[in-house]
Amino acid sequence: MTDEQLHIPKAVTRVLMSEEAVYGLILVSGMIVVSGTLVGTSGNALATVAITVVVFYLAHVYAGTLGRLAATEGGAELGTSIREAARHSVGMLLASIAPLVILLLGTTDLIDDMLSIWTALVVNAILLGVFGWIAVARWTSRFWPRLLSALITAGFGVILIGLKAFIHH
């Protein structure tokens, strides 16, 4: 299926199929593993992940701005460079919304702390697989390359789930 058949706006797929979105999900998973292991509460994981994602986003925007300014050898406007870098990096923030909402549910006692942490990790792995599938589906209609991409991309999340299981027990 194409983006149009799924009724997904092109701007959304552009952002979610970016390397920043994939990197953001992997970063969030890593932070959930580390923060959830240290204290074991969804509140701690939520705060750690949210702050870390924002810091990494700002660092990415800063580095992107510097890169754009250097590449144009003074020909680019600072404001334009910042806006372009921010737009390019927004996938990192958007990709973190689902796991942050799941962690937030754990802080409200709607779901157990540990369940919210594990659920956020599983959802991230699933999202990574979906991103991998869709990205390759935009390139080819063949099933096997899509599946391989989904498995490889989801594999990063699965590795972090394995790390969480190893550290937790």
Distance in angstroms between the alpha carbons of the first and the last residue of the chain: 41
Per the model's pLDDT, the better-predicted residue between 37 and 158 turns out to be: 158
Instruction: Name, in order, each residue with C-beta under 8 angstroms of 30's C-beta and a sequence gap of 6 or more.
Output: 160
> DSSP of 12-23, one letter per residue?
HHHHHTSHHHHH
Distance in angstroms (rounded) separating the CA atoms of residues 17 and 22: 7
- pLDDT at residue number 5: 54
- pLDDT at residue number 13: 67
Residue 169 has pLDDT above 90, yes or no: no
pLDDT digits (tens, 9 = 90+) for 7-58: 667 766 666 678 888 889 999 999 988 886 666 788 989 999 999 999 999 9
- pLDDT at residue number 98: 94
Longest distance between any two alpha carbons in the chain, whole Å: 55
> DSSP of 80-137, one letter per residue?
HHHHHHHHHHHHHHHHTHHHHHHHHHHHTTSS-HHHHHHHHHHHHHHHHHHHHHHHHH
Give, in order, the Cα–Cα distances in Å from 31 to each of 42, 48, 51, 96, 168: 12, 7, 10, 11, 14
- pLDDT at residue number 168: 64
Per the model's pLDDT, the better-predicted residue between 10 and 163 turns out to be: 163
pLDDT digits (tens, 9 = 90+) for 83-128: 999 999 999 999 999 999 999 999 997 899 889 999 999 999 999 9
- pLDDT at residue number 167: 76
- pLDDT at residue number 113: 87
Per the model's pLDDT, the better-predicted residue between 66 and 135 turns out to be: 66
